[in-house]
Amino acid sequence: MILVIDVGNTNITLGVFEGEEIKATFRMTSGQKRTSDEYGIYLCSMLEHRGIDPKGVSHVVISSVVPDVMYSLNSGVIKYFNLHPLVIKPGTKTGIRLVTGNPKEIGADRIVDAMAAYTLYGGPVLVIDFGTATTYDLILEDGSFVAGITSPGIRISAKALWEDTAKLPAIEIRKPKSILAKDTITSMQAGLVYGYIGQTEYIIRKVKEESGLGDELHVVATGGLGKIIADEVDAIQVYDNMLTLKGLRLIYEKNQ
């Protein structure tokens, strides 16, 4: 079995693959400092809770955009699984060619998502990840990663709204029945969700226009809150919440 780990700014998402099948997924917070022993014990305990023997894990693959986590996490994997993980970094074989101004600035998660979307759904493809930040990455038919767009994630936008205003409350992020809100909470929900739908539609339209790809461009979305937006945007053809985990497995296979 392969244990794949995606370290994001908000959460650490983990998955266990047996062949191409996802046996289980887990989440941990990434903002909390942990020792290597804590990571090792957490990982083993979560696997055992799902009836998975940690000794059955033969390989570990990690992508991370949080450097401070990596020393303890890497050490925990080595100590408790007796395995040296494959860590995604510049030079890791992915099949995606980075032709942006500074390829080293592209986060590992974006490379993994790009590789997964290109491999599973074909190119040219625009990959949208609705994470802590929302990213839009353009991969051409030949596998070239040529452009990326970054905007504040919907949760960041919501947090700014209620933290930087004196009277607006924290709210659940969901789409109200109508944009014609009649109270404070639904007015905030309407502004956040309908506003984000509009942003997504406009960026997709501009990417299609400026790239000259038009309707030839596939659009694939992933990320925790992405389902809310993807359901409302016709231009998004695929929503795959497991895209990053699948990409980590695919990269492991490519590097064997």
The token pair that represents 123 in the structure block: 């190119």
242 is written with which tokens? 């497991």
| Residue 82 burial (10 A CB sphere; 0-12, 13-18, 19+) | exposed
Rounded to 5°, angle at Cα 168 from 132 and 170 = 45
Indicate the SS3 state at residue 142: coil
Closest by CA to 223, choosing from 9, 2, 4, 79, is 9
Question: Which residues are marked as active site?
Answer: 109
CA distances from 16 to 66, 111, 177, 255 (A): 21, 20, 37, 18
